[in-house]
Amino acid sequence: MAKLRKFIFDVDGTLTPSRGKMDKSFITFFFDFCRNNDVYLVTGSDKAKTIEQIGEEIYNKCKRVYQCNGNDIWQSDNNIQTNEWTLPNLARTFLISCEYESPFTQRTGNHIEERPGMVNFSVVGRNANLEERARYVAYDTFENERQTIADAFNTMFPDLSAKVGGETGIDISPKGADKSQIVKDFDKEDTLWFFGDAIYEGGNDYPLAKLIKNHRKVNGWSQTKEYLQFFQEQNIAN
């Protein structure tokens, strides 16, 4: 029996700018790619935000969308599974103290966002606009604050997992409830390809990339498109 090729994509930084909408020049190409191939998405965001970014047509063309790092699973309008989890109080207190003690002075609200099976922590806050996000990105690029917080969190709470995700956040969940958990839904005979921007130790795409031999680290949607066009030329994809 021929092996099935299945293509798995992160969203922020891979198909869209972080927290932004898919580029108009990429929409038609990727819609056709979804129509001709088995496409799956895995993202730390929730369903509403993902649809806002990529549109309902592409969302519904995907075979399955793993929201909240695989803790909230959707097939078009059908909710396949949702994992519930509550952040322990001691861990919440630790994150609040990290926000309070950060030398970065700007705060926009919604610093601990609860999602199915996980929370997302942001020092600047999930309510930051593009300019405010850019300021924090510049600060974090120099200070490496998010990775420092994640490392300290993982040392203090060994049963939990904190990984850098997106441009301003840290994804926190029970250990193992990260993007790597979606692999169990695929057959061993399948040939899996995974594309993500945070494929580095400590990044939220890294646990899944470790399990999928055919993975590609990308720097934005335009590089993703270049890979897919090359795959089509080489008959790796339709």
For the chain, the domains span: 5-83+177-233, 89-174
- pLDDT beyond 80 at 93: yes
- pLDDT beyond 80 at 235: yes
Task: Check residue 107 and give its pLDDT.
Answer: 96
Task: Check residue 3 and give its pLDDT.
Answer: 56
Tracing tokens 């890979």 back to the chain, one arrives at 227
**Nearest C-alpha neighbor of 196 from the set 159, 154, 230, 224:** 224
Q: Which CATH architecture has domain 89-174?
A: 2-Layer Sandwich (3.30)
Cα 57 from chain centroid (whole Å) = 20
Question: Which residues share a beta bridge with 192?
Answer: 6
**What does the DSSP assignment read for 107-176?**
--S--EEEETTEEEEESS-TT--HHHHHHHHHHHHHH-HHHHHHHHHHHH-TTEEEEEETTTEEEEEETT
- Quick one: DSSP state of residue 228? H
3-state secondary structure 39-68: EEEECCCCHHHHHHHHCHHHHHHCCEEEEH
Biggest distance spanned by C-alpha atoms of the chain: 58
Task: Check residue 166 and give its pLDDT.
Answer: 84
What residues contact residue 103 under an 8 Å CB cut-off, 6+ apart? 143
Core vs surface per residue 139-148: b (16+ CB within 10 A) or e: bbeeeebbbe
- pLDDT beyond 50 at 57: yes
Average confidence (pLDDT) over 117-136: 95
- pLDDT beyond 80 at 2: no
Instruction: Count CB atoms within 10 A of the CB of residue 233.
Output: 9
State whether the Cα torsion 12-14-20-21 is positive or negative.
negative
Task: Check residue 202 and give its pLDDT.
Answer: 87
- pLDDT beyond 60 at 88: yes
Token readout for 44 is: 């730390």
- pLDDT beyond 70 at 1: no
Amino acid at 117: G
Average confidence (pLDDT) over 76-85: 93
Token readout for 1 is: 């029996």
Q: How many Cα neighbours within 13 Å face the side chain of 161? A: 19
Task: Check residue 206 and give its pLDDT.
Answer: 95
Return the CATH number of 5-83+177-233, one of 3.10.129.10, 3.40.50.1000, 3.40.50.1970, 3.60.15.10.
Answer: 3.40.50.1000
Cα 198 from chain centroid (whole Å) = 8
Instruction: Count CB atoms within 10 A of the CB of residue 172.
Output: 26
Task: Check residue 4 and give its pLDDT.
Answer: 85
**Nearest C-alpha neighbor of 79 from the set 58, 69, 65, 96:** 65
